[in-house]
Amino acid sequence: LAGREDHGNVVVFDASMRERYIDQAEILTSFSDSITNKDFKVYYQPVVEAASGKIIGAEALVRWIHPTRGLIGPNRFIPALETNGFITQLDYYVLQQVYTFQQSLQTGGMPFVPISVNLSRQDFYDDSFISHVLNLAQESSLPTDSINYEVTETAVALLKENCRYLLQQVRLGGAKVLLDDFGSGFSSLGMVGDYSFDVVKIDKSFIDQIDAEPTVRTVIKSTIDMCHGIGLRVIAEGVEGASQLEFLKGCGCDYIQGFYFSRPLSEGDFCAYLSKAQIGTQSDAVVLTPRD
């Protein structure tokens, strides 16, 4: 339980209250103010190499630090923003924040950590968003794979042409494209070979079943082999346990993202994590050990 002062009353938030429904209208009326006030904060979840535990990247994940409701996770406001056309504004805001943060990491001499940003399928309907993304990349002096993009297979399936154009352009510029939540949406094996992805992220719903379901273990192993066969790297998403990690390592899974290594971290905590990871290691290696 976390206590919090609010207009003189102590308000205690617990898990069930945090799950409480937020009215769509409330989200939409406070959205613009929250953008102006910078109440949306980007958190960063490390992605590590399975074999070594070395950090190889991070995913940018937005949170809403709501003036009265506290921290709200994206699953509770992104669907409303998507339905009402605000998501693209948020995604552009997040992208700008990530550029600024990446710039400060690199200026501050931190180890190089590529950061991936989530794109909503709504973003692909917006031609000006697409040109803004390409402009940001062109104008930036950061290494070209500093900022990468995550798209879901559903977005790709529904928006073939716009999506193909943006993804081709960002890859030409040197950025990586990650296929997010693989296996959870409109999947077709053709899509994996057809489009230019660099990395496939196996959805958490599969990882959750590793311990209990032999069939799912076979599906995961086959997916990893198939991706490797066509030159793609694989990230397992939502790894929480040592037995899951061991299984994935045994399958040759390249990278791991999950609470087993770290939750998504605020900018400050992420910097602390990176600095700590440097201590006692060779200058060319950032070795991380699992945490609870």
Stretch that binds Mg ion, among 89-97, 112-120, 135-143, 272-280 (CB under 5 A): 112-120
Contact set for Mg ion, span 26-65 (CB under 5 A)? none
Q: Which of the listed partners (ligand C2E, Mg ion, none) does 78 bind, with a CB threshold of 5 to 8 Å by partner kind?
A: ligand C2E
> Taking CB under 6 A as the rule, which mask of x and - marks residues 164-203 in contact with ligand C2E?
----------------xx----------------------
Total residues in contact with Mg ion, by rule CB under 5 A: 5
CB-count burial class (<10 Å; 0-12, 13-18, 19+) for 84 = middle
Q: Which of the listed partners (Mg ion, ligand C2E, none) does 258 bind, with a CB threshold of 5 to 8 Å by partner kind?
A: ligand C2E
Closest CA to 289 of 256, 267, 247: 256
What is the rounded distance in angstroms from the CA atom of residue 9 to the CA atom of residue 259? 33
Name the DSSP letter for residue 124: G
Binder of ligand C2E out of 46, 57, 114, 238 (CB under 6 A): 238
Binder of ligand C2E out of 56, 78, 179, 286 (CB under 6 A): 78
Of 50 and 61, the one with the shorter C-beta distance to ligand C2E is 61
Q: Which of the listed partners (Mg ion, ligand C2E, none) does 173 bind, with a CB threshold of 5 to 8 Å by partner kind?
A: none
CA quadruple 252, 254, 258, 261: dihedral sign: positive
Stretch that binds ligand C2E, among 189-197, 221-229, 232-240, 248-256 (CB under 6 A): 232-240
Of 49 and 278, the one with the shorter C-beta distance to ligand C2E is 49
Residue 272's region, left for phi above 0, alpha for psi from -120 to 50, else beta, is alpha
Runs of H (alpha helix) within the chain: 15-18, 24-36, 78-83, 87-107, 127-139, 153-158, 160-172, 189-194, 204-207, 214-229, 242-250, 267-278
Contact 53, 289 (CB under 8 A): yes
**Residues engaged in binding Mg ion (CB under 5 A):** 118, 150, 180-181, 237
**Residues engaged in binding ligand C2E (CB under 6 A):** 45, 61-62, 73-75, 78, 87, 91, 94, 118, 120, 150, 180-181, 204, 237-240, 257-259, 264
